[in-house]
Amino acid sequence: MKIAIQGIEGCFHQIAANKFFNREVEVLCCVNFHELVNKVTTQQECDLGIMAIENSIAGSILQNYKLLQQSNLKIIGEVYLPIVQNLIVIPGTKIEDIEEIHSHPMAIYQCSEFLSKLKNIKVIETEDTAASVKRIKDNNWGKKAAISSELSASIYGMEILTSSIETNKANYTRFLILSKNEIEEVKDTNKASLYFSVENTKGSLAKVLELITKNDINLTKLQSFPIVGSSWQYYFHSDLEYSAYSNFNNLILQLNNHTTKVKILGNYKKGIK
């Protein structure tokens, strides 16, 4: 089985995939999330994909919610990964040697407290954490460092100068497992993701929320997005947890009478936080 990831080997997507499947998986590295979705949709060179969707500090990755909504992919699982960031250098480099630190903007944000204590060091935003490590290694840049995972340091033969530099130690990213086909044993699931839209009238959204509660379903996320071409009209992404699939099925039947559109993105087993 080959899993499509965004980034290169050593990135957090690869670590999350290994955690979900409980083994080291073969990965197909994609330049961006658009390529990832396309590879999974067409099943070119891969069987499934894994995509980050939100972080406990930085919040939702909005572009990925939109990619999901526009695709016909199904969510078949999720995994929560603790994000541990490290300052990684060419072996032998000392902190006083560093002139630049390279990493993805989100990683930089997650390590803002550590970075604020460093003087006269320029912080450079890059496209990927692991790619920053590889680039420094390939160019033998002794005066540059990267913020990335322990796995990336191991893969590219680099040294962790300072470990666990993230500001908040309760730093988790949620990843979704994506497939062209829905999960087979849907009745064994306990979580679902869907999006819906309602009429722009008084109480229309409140009615949907009422139905969710009446069916003994826990709404764990509600995110609004503008409907392109319809000013001030929105659709809503929702994550729902349930103890019985029949409750979810009943909800969907009821929503058909109280929404203008509803689309199930997938039923799956909720991840352990």
* Average pLDDT, integer, range 213-232: 93
Does residue 101 sit in the same domain as residue 154?
Answer: yes
Residues 53 and 93 in one domain: no
Tell me the pLDDT tens digit for each residue of 10-28.
Answer: 999 999 999 999 999 999 9
101 and 60 housed in the same domain = no
Position 49 in a domain: yes
Indicate the residue among 128, 149, 179 that finishes a domain. 179
Average pLDDT along the chain: 95
103 in a structural domain: yes
Question: What is the distance between the alpha carbons of residues 150 and 130, in angstroms, rounded to a whole number?
Answer: 10
Number of domains in the chain: 3
CA-to-CA dists, residue 75 to 3, 7, 16, 165, 229, angstroms:
14, 20, 15, 32, 27
Q: What does each C-alpha distance from 107 to 96, 98, 121, 186, 231 come to in angstroms?
A: 22, 18, 16, 36, 34
Residue 186's pLDDT band (boundaries 50, 70, 90)? Answer: confident
The whole-number average pLDDT for the span 217-225 is: 97
Whether 186 is in a domain gets the answer: no
What mean pLDDT comes out for the span 125-132?
96
User: What is the extent of the structural domain holding 11?
Assistant: 2-83+172-179
Determine the pLDDT at residue 44: 79
Phi first, then psi: what are they for 143, rounded to 5°? -105, 10
For the segment 232-242, the average pLDDT, to the nearest whole number, is 95
- The model carries a pTM of 0.93
Of 115, 146, 179, the domain-final residue: 179
How are beta strands 59-60 and 191-197 bridged, if at all? unpaired
Contact 59, 218 (CB under 8 A): no
* 160 has a pLDDT exceeding 90: yes
Q: Residue 177 — very low, low, confident or very high, per pLDDT cuts 50/70/90?
A: very high
Mean pLDDT of 228-249: 93
- Flag whether 167 is in a domain: no
Residues 126, 131, 134, CA angle at the centre, nearest 5°?
130
Is 128 found in the same domain as 72?
A: no
247, 259: one domain? yes
My answer on whether 34 and 78 are in the same domain is yes
Position 193 scores a pLDDT of 98
Are 53 and 100 in the same domain?
no
